[in-house]
Amino acid sequence: MTVNILFAAAREGWDTYQAPLRQALEARNISFHLAQDIAPENVDYIVYAPSSEVQDFTPFTRCKAVLNLWAGVEDVTGNPTLKVPLARMVDHGLTRGMVEWVTGHTLRHHLGVDAHLRGQDGQWRKAVPPLAEHRSVTLLGLGALGTACAEAPVAIGFQMRGYSRQPKHIPGVDTFSAGGLNAALKGAEIVILLLPQTPQTENILNAQTLSLLAPGAVVINPGRGPLIDDAALLDALESGALGHATLDVFRREPLPTDDLFWAHPKVTVTPHIASATRPETSAQVIAENILRGETGAPFLHLVDRKSGY
């Protein structure tokens, strides 16, 4: 029997995903029809980007699962017409890309690299950074991405703390859960945000929580823009309470050209590139979930609708 798979994403996504998806499905001996245009009543699976034109899932009467191309599901998980299982993207390429970006910027701020990149003025300023073992780093969000990103600084020697909604155990990381946010942030010199976007996490970094950090602390946000109260962040940067913010995600994307973040001397803007779904690796995850659906095995990486991720 042929499995009908609708690719519901932008045209450029189809151009890059079509071949890897076909290869991954063929490798699992799945008989399939993969296309961008299939009658809704004939669709078995939807490979999905939340920016897709598909917003009403009601016509897809025989659909078995919606397989998200992205790690973030906040734009689809609350859709009342979506009744079938929703799987978020967790794949090797996305995870390793995030680990590399987070580790790179953590070391950049730890070592004070920016001071040497701003230009030479003939002054021999010998400012030696502390060892990693004397630097406190807190990571908010200990899901698959967060856990992987916490392990790399631990290997380097940083004092690592982690915070998540549910209790977690990660070797070398002091972990905190519900009720422990303030303790996780207290005195942190570098804070990394990898929480999902939910009503509970919006503005989790605000005037009160920012005040808990060490003087001159650095904030690194590759998670979601709404995790930070922008006005409070700018106030903390202006007052000197914060030393720098490296931001990869924003409330509006692309970031408007007149946004204050672009020209702020204590802000680094990167254009949502901390990590991305790689077609070659994510296609394997999607094909595996389709195989599971066809053989009666449980789907991987299912979203908990109540928690929103």
* 117: CB partners within 8 A, 6+ apart: none
For residues 153 and 103, give the distance between their C-alpha atoms in angstroms, rounded to a whole number. Answer: 7
Q: Indicate if 135 belongs to the active site.
A: no
Which SS3 state, helix, strand or coil, does residue 302 take?
strand
For residues 226 and 178, give the distance between their C-alpha atoms in angstroms, rounded to a whole number. Answer: 19
Q: Phi then psi for 115, rounded to 5 degrees? A: -60, -30
Considering the candidates 88, 105, 224, 301, report the single residue annotated as catalytic. 224
Residue ranges in 64-218 assigned as alpha helix (H): 92-111, 113-117, 144-156, 181-185, 207-210
Considering the candidates 96, 272, 278, 292, report the single residue annotated as catalytic. 272
Q: Which two tokens stand for residue 60?
A: 């897809």
What letter represents residue 250's amino acid? F
> Of the candidates 291, 294, 280, 304, which has an alpha carbon nearest to the alpha carbon of residue 91?
280
DSSP 185-237: HTT-SEEEE-----TTTTT-BSHHHHTTSPTTEEEEE-S-GGGB-HHHHHHHH
Q: Indicate if 272 belongs to the active site.
A: yes
Is the four-CA dihedral 35, 89, 156, 211 of positive or negative sign?
A: positive
For residues 201 and 224, give the distance between their C-alpha atoms in angstroms, rounded to a whole number. Answer: 10
Residue 150 has, within 13 A of its CA and on its CB side, a CA count of 28
Active site residues: 224, 272
